[in-house]
């Protein structure tokens, strides 16, 4: 997969400690980056209408919008609140012109040990918001997360699980494939091919897995600093037919978040174009 700067999108979590949304978008534009993925809290901080204006004024495409999901809850009221919040997230994603709404589906409700029940709540929540997503022309991108997050963040942990949900739900649902979460999966090649054959790949996110990883959430690596074979995964993604934006998403509390934002973006561009 040949990586060119015009294919690059910056997930704005990558520079969330350095800049607010406007500063980050303007910095991306300065560096020749033409796509971003904002987070809901970043949008809320400046206001939805203003966020949409900033993105449009800087000529940015929006590869995705982070994030919806978090469906499981301890009671019916909590599950309904999550459904209502996801409908709002769909509306926000449409307003900023996102290509999809990225879903981190949620883990076990507090006090629960019932993983099958949590996964059932996820399926029910997705089904409940799907009509609104379709009416809004907003694809839903289920992002399977590494199994270490199964309890608290996402009980959908493999691409196979995510694609099974897509098969059950039908049109308007796909997957966001993040190397950090799926690189280890022995069934990855077959599942990427399956996703491509069904036209389900809505996003491709990259960052590296460091050895050792010092924090399971906030110690992701810049491409090339860890063990992921991006050329191999990228070739599978390309063979599956994906030609969309490639999103760099790095949570790095002790490294990249402490560096000047312009240095981070320069490094992203250098590493991005080197992993083809």
- pLDDT value at residue 243: 96
Q: Which one, of 169, 74, 164, 173, lies nearest residue 127 by Cα?
A: 169
Structure tokens, 25: 């978008």
Whether the bond between 111 and the residue before it is cis, its omega within 30 degrees of 0, is no
The first and second tokens of residue 62, run together, are 């929006």
pLDDT at 12: 98
Question: What is the reported pLDDT for 275?
Answer: 85
Alpha-carbon distances of 256 from 82, 215, 264, rounded to whole Å: 32, 14, 7
Q: Which sequence spans correspond to the domains of the chain?
A: 5-274
Alpha helices of 10-105 — where are they, by DSSP H?
21-30, 40-46, 48-57, 76-96
Place of tokens 């993983």: 115
Per-residue model confidence (pLDDT) at position 189: 98
Task: Answer for the pair 198, 181: CB distance below 8 angstroms, yes or no.
Answer: no
Task: Judge contact between 218 and 253, C-beta under 8 A.
Answer: yes
Tens-binned pLDDT, residue by residue, of the chain (276 aa) = 778 999 999 999 999 999 999 999 999 999 999 999 999 999 999 999 999 999 999 999 999 999 999 999 999 999 999 999 999 999 999 999 999 999 999 999 999 999 999 999 999 999 999 999 999 999 999 999 999 999 999 999 999 999 999 999 999 999 999 999 999 999 999 999 999 999 999 999 999 999 999 999 999 999 999 999 999 999 999 999 999 999 999 999 999 999 999 999 999 999 999 986
Q: What are residue 251's phi and psi, to 5 degrees?
A: -100, 115
Tokens 């963040």 belong to which residue?
153
Q: What is the C-alpha separation between 157 and 146, in angstroms, rounded?
A: 5
- List, in sequence order, the alpha helices (H) in 97-201: 115-135, 159-169, 179-182, 188-197
| Distance between CA atoms of residues 271 and 276, nearest Å | 9
Q: Residue 67: is the preceding peptide bond cis (ω within 30°)?
A: yes
Any idea which residue has 């050792």 for tokens? 212
Number of neighbours of residue 74 by Cβ within 10 angstroms: 12
Tell me the fold of 5-274. TIM Barrel (3.20.20)
Residue pLDDT, tens place only, 43-63: 999 999 999 999 999 999 999
In sequence order, the 6+-apart residues with CB closer than 8 A to the CB of 89 are 40, 65, 67, 68, 101
3-state class (DSSP) for residue 204: strand
**pLDDT on residue 1:** 73
pTM of the predicted model as reported, rounded to 2 decimal places: 0.98
Q: What is the pLDDT of residues 158-205, one digit of tens each?
A: 999 999 999 999 999 999 999 999 999 999 999 999 999 999 999 999
- What local confidence, expressed as pLDDT, does residue 276 receive? 62
DSSP state, residue 155: S
């Amino acid at each position: 997969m040949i990586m060119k700067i015009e294919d690059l999108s910056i997930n704005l979590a990558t520079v969330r400690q350095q800049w607010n949304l406007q500063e980050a978008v303007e910095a991306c534009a300065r560096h020749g980056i033409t796509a971003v993925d904002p987070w809901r809290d970043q949008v809320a901080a400046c206001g939805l209408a203003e966020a949409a204006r900033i993105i449009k004024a800087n000529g940015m495409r929006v590869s995705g919008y982070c994030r919806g999901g978090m469906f499981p809850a301890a009671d019916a009221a909590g599950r309904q609140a999550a459904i209502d919040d996801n409908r709002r997230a769909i509306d926000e994603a449409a307003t900023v012109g996102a290509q999809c709404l990225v879903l981190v589906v949620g883990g076990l409700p507090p006090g629960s040990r019932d993983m099958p029940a949590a996964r059932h709540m996820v399926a029910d929540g997705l089904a409940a918001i799907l009509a609104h997503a379709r009416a809004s022309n907003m694809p839903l991108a289920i992002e399977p997360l590494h199994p270490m997050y199964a309890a608290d963040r996402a009980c959908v942990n493999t691409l196979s699980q995510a694609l099974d949900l897509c098969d059950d739900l039908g049109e308007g649902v796909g997957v966001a494939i993040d190397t950090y979460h799926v690189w280890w999966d022995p069934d990855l090649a077959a599942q990427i091919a399956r996703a491509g054959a069904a036209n389900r790949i809505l996003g491709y996110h990259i960052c590296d897995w460091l050895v050792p990883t010092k924090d399971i959430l906030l110690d992701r690596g810049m491409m090339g600093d860890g063990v992921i074979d991006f050329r191999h995964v990228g070739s599978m993604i390309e063979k599956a037919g994906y030609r969309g934006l490639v999103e760099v998403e790095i949570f790095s509390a002790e490294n990249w978040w402490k560096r000047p934002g312009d240095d981070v973006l320069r490094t992203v561009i250098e590493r991005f174009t080197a992993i083809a």
